[in-house]
Amino acid sequence: FDSPLSCSIPKRAIEAGLVSVDLIQIRDFATDKHHKVDDSPYGGGPGMLMKAGPVVASIRAAREKQPDTHVVMLTPSGTRFSQAKALQFTEKKAGITLLCGRYEGFDERICDYVDEQISMGDYVLSGGEPAALSVLDAVIRLLPGVLGSPESAVLDSFTADGLLDWPHYTRPVEFEGKSVPAVLLSGNHAKIEDWRKQQAQQRSNKERG
């Protein structure tokens, strides 16, 4: 987690005291001498599962630090994460705890100790860490005071009306035979706004059906 949180927007937010990130190592709560947090599944099958004991103990440790924390299990079987969900997470005044799995997943009984299950999409990662970093980045940038321009978050894809963002262009006007659309150079803000709305709708229809 150190490298992604030590640059760009997350770094600035942490240094400004707008957010804090505490890491809890699940392995610290293992009870055997090898600090084992996984075991083979009952009924057979490939892979290993995260054991209930160490994981639940780590959840309880998080709740001891912050009793009202919202515990989120990151799992492919959870509800799809979205911009709307990221915005909801900014309203969790006691913060959120992101539970990262490994191997084949969690012992099913652990689900009874979390508040919510979130999926990043219909694919499988080696562990929950990349998913947690994605959630952190999406939420941190929505916190008041984090972005240089508050309007940036408001105009992001999916934020205002659920549409994808419109195409953006910057200098030069011409690049390898490709030109910036004339309407963006017109200075007519009403026409620019209409063009952006149309482009956002067209892109959303094309990419999301």
The total number of residues written for the chain in this structure: 209
130 is catalytic: no
207 is catalytic: no
Nearest to 73 by CA among 27, 102, 114, 37: 114
194 is catalytic: no
Catalytic residue among 156, 165, 167, 203: 156
Omega of the bond leading into 172 within 30 degrees of 0 (cis): yes
Q: How many CA atoms lie within 13 A of 29 on its CB side?
A: 17
Could you tell me which residues come within 8 angstroms of residue 86 by beta carbon, excluding any fewer than 6 positions away? 135, 138, 139, 142
174 is catalytic: no
Catalytic residue among 39, 104, 116, 165: 104
Catalytic residue among 76, 107, 116, 137: 76
Residues with a known catalytic role: 76, 104, 141, 156
